[in-house]
Amino acid sequence: MRAEQAVAELFALCRQQAQADYIGEAVSQLEHMVQAAELARDEGADEELVLAAFCHDVGHFCAPLTAQNSMAGLGRRGHERVGANWLLGLGFSQRLAGLVARHVDAKRYLSWREPAYLAGLSEASRQTLDWQGGPMTTREAEAFEADPLFADSLRLRRWDEAAKVAGRPPTDLSDLELLAIRVHQAAIP
């Protein structure tokens, strides 16, 4: 799929989330996505990681939500894998999809490793953690620490948690769209 076509499909879907509730948080789904990307960019993340921060929750809305995959009104169970696979289908890189796929693992890891992180989760995030398997076990955590995407997954997760600030002015998405085109083009062998 051409970069322009893939990015147009991604951003058309994301724009539909401008007013969509972000699962019990004080921001819309789109506001959350943009804030996560801005935090990544502001910390000097590479473009692929910035786009992963933007796309990390795309699995909540790129495929239909059903009674079988719903987390009792708190989003889609397995959204990290659904989103990663959808992004791969659009032609984005394995790394981008891998970061999206691991952002829930990062939450589970940080909940295991850092009691203050777990205590600081929003109510909605604590509830979804239960659906996502709860804090990791020591064995799971050790395996995750060996993952090549471990460090960037943790960075993405921290931006995810911080990207819930209500009342921030809306952002023009055109810069993110151009970034997404560059990232997609770089993924083409």
Q: Does the pTM of the predicted model rise above 0.75?
A: yes
What confidence tier does 78 reach under pLDDT thresholds 50, 70, 90?
A: confident
> What is the CA 132 to chain-centroid distance, rounded?
14
What's the CATH number for 3-187?
1.10.3210.10
Give one DSSP letter per residue of 2-44, joined into a string. Answer: -HHHHHHHHHHHHHTTSS-B-TTSSSBHHHHHHHHHHHHHHTT
| 108 within 8 A of 129, measured Cβ to Cβ | yes
Q: What pLDDT is attached to residue 73?
A: 63
Average pLDDT over residues 90-106: 97
Q: What share of the chain in percent tops pLDDT 90?
A: 65
Residues 31, 86: Cα–Cα separation, whole Å:
21
pLDDT in tens, 31-51: 999 999 999 999 999 999 999
Please say if the pLDDT value at position 104 is more than 90.
yes
- For 176, half-sphere exposure in the C-beta direction (CA atoms, 13 angstrom radius) is 26
Q: What pLDDT is attached to residue 139?
A: 98
Residues 96, 53: Cα–Cα separation, whole Å:
9
Partners of 70 in the β-ladder = 76
The alpha carbons of the chain give a radius of gyration, in whole angstroms, of 16
pLDDT in tens, 108-138: 999 999 999 999 998 888 888 988 999 999 9
Q: What share of the chain in percent tops pLDDT 70?
A: 89
Domain boundaries, the chain: 3-187
